Amino acid sequence: MDAMEPLGGAEFAPQQTYLNTSACALLPRRAIEAVTLLAEETAAGRPNGAGDFETVAEARATYARLMDVHPDRVAVGSSVSVHVGMIAQSMPAGSEILFPEGDFSSLITPFTIRGDLKTRFVPLERLAESVRPDTALVAFSAVQSADGRTADFAAIRAAAAAHGARTLLDATQSAGWLPLRAGEWDYTVAGGYKFLLCPRGASFLTVTEEAQDSLVAVHAGWVTGEELWTNSYGPVRELARSARRFDEPPAFLSYHGAAGSLALLEEIGIERIEAHNKALAARFRAGLVELGHAPVPDVSGVVGVPGLGDRQSALLSSGVLMSARAGNLRASFHLYNGSADVDRALEVLAG
């Protein structure tokens, strides 16, 4: 196979073979510089406090473009579980929530702790056919954390529409490398510190205008007002008319870094990153088969290899970083990887 060079140029400088973006991304240089600058300015006593809402708005707008949705449909926050918790607390008692078996805990647990919701779990490949008339919400990850499998978007969307169910797409393992249209789903959530290259503490929620009407802003505060600076004391007089009503107070250090990270993704292009990541993953799958292993069959940029989870420590000692998840060895490829990273990982596994 032809050699593939990393994307992103001097923005990244990994000191080992890093195939672990599904756990945490490498930060680009521009994000590090933005966080450092804000920290230094804050330590020196910057005039307007610990960060800029304009920079948060910039991150919101760039994320919206990456997800092909209007910025008014994007809320910012700190984590997927907080976003999902707001959706879970807004569901009427007795609602049925349908999940794939083995999906990520932060997508599931906010619903199960309610105690008065009906939760049902089915194999991922049967998710669409398992939607029924009393299903209120279908919640699933676009790419499964444990093994990299991708969901059948069109079938799930069609089944939910046919039965009047809302949809919640967790894009944490896909936003940043897989082209997505957030407006096709009632809700999407995405943790920023993986394929979106953001510092921890940046996370994004999208809400369609229709779904916004039934979503309760359970952690509303002064930043969620329609007029930002007129709600510091007493009750907020009017919540934002956009999805900003669902914002958490932004962690400015994270969002100053996120603005640069998201801009980098937009500059390179998600379609280009998708082709790059998938090509690296295909190279890795082919090499695994040659070594006698059986990776999970998919075209995802995340590769799960059943039964090889116990090799994670040996790989780490050889300078190759991957994850062990649910018994699988998990390799996740992103723009800063190249074919040399794939070949090095296969070399260590062969040894």
The mean of the pLDDT values for the chain is: 96
**Residue 280 pLDDT > 80:** yes
Name the one residue in this structure whose structure tokens are 């490498």: 26
Q: What is the pLDDT at residue 33?
A: 98
Q: What is the pLDDT of residues 13-29, one digit of tens each?
A: 999 999 999 999 999 99
Q: Write out the H or E segment, with its range, that includes residue 302.
A: strand 302-306
Q: Kindly write down the DSSP assignment for every residue of 46-65, as one continuous string.
A: -TT-S--HHHHHHHHHHHHH
The answer to whether the beta carbons of residues 51 and 250 sit under 8 Å apart is: yes
Return the pLDDT at 3. 84
pLDDT band at 277 (very low <50, low <70, confident <90, very high): very high
Q: How confident is the model over 174-206, as pLDDT tens digits?
A: 999 999 999 999 999 999 999 999 999 999 999
Confidence of residue 229 (pLDDT cuts 50, 70, 90): confident
Predicted confidence (pLDDT) per residue in 294-323, tens digit: 999 999 999 999 999 999 999 999 999 999
Element (H, E) at 122: strand 118-122
Q: What does the pLDDT read at residue 313?
A: 95
Task: Give the three-class secondary structure for 330.
Answer: strand
Using the predicted structure, report yes or no on whether residue 2 has a pLDDT greater than 90.
no
Copy the structure tokens of residue 65: 């473009």
Long-range contacts of 86-90 (CB under 8 A, 24+ apart): 86/205, 86/215, 86/216, 86/217, 86/218, 86/219, 86/246, 87/137, 87/168, 87/187, 87/215, 88/113, 88/114, 88/117, 89/114, 89/216, 89/218, 90/214, 90/215, 90/216, 90/218
pLDDT at 231 over 90: no
Kindly tell me if the per-residue pLDDT of 279 is higher than 80. Answer: yes
The predicted pLDDT at position 1 comes to: 62
pLDDT of residue 232: 85
Q: How confident is the model at residue 351 (pLDDT cuts 50, 70, 90)?
A: confident
Least confident among 35-49, 106-120, 263-277: 35-49
Report, as an integer, the average pLDDT of 268-296.
98
Averaged over 158-174, what is the pLDDT?
A: 98
Order of strands, sheet of 118-122, starting from the edge strand that comes earlier in the sequence: 74-77, 203-207, 187-191, 166-170, 135-141, 96-100, 118-122
Do the beta carbons of residue 145 and residue 325 sit within 8 Å? yes
pLDDT of the residue at 230? 85
**pLDDT (tens digit per residue) in 29-45:** 999 999 999 999 999 99
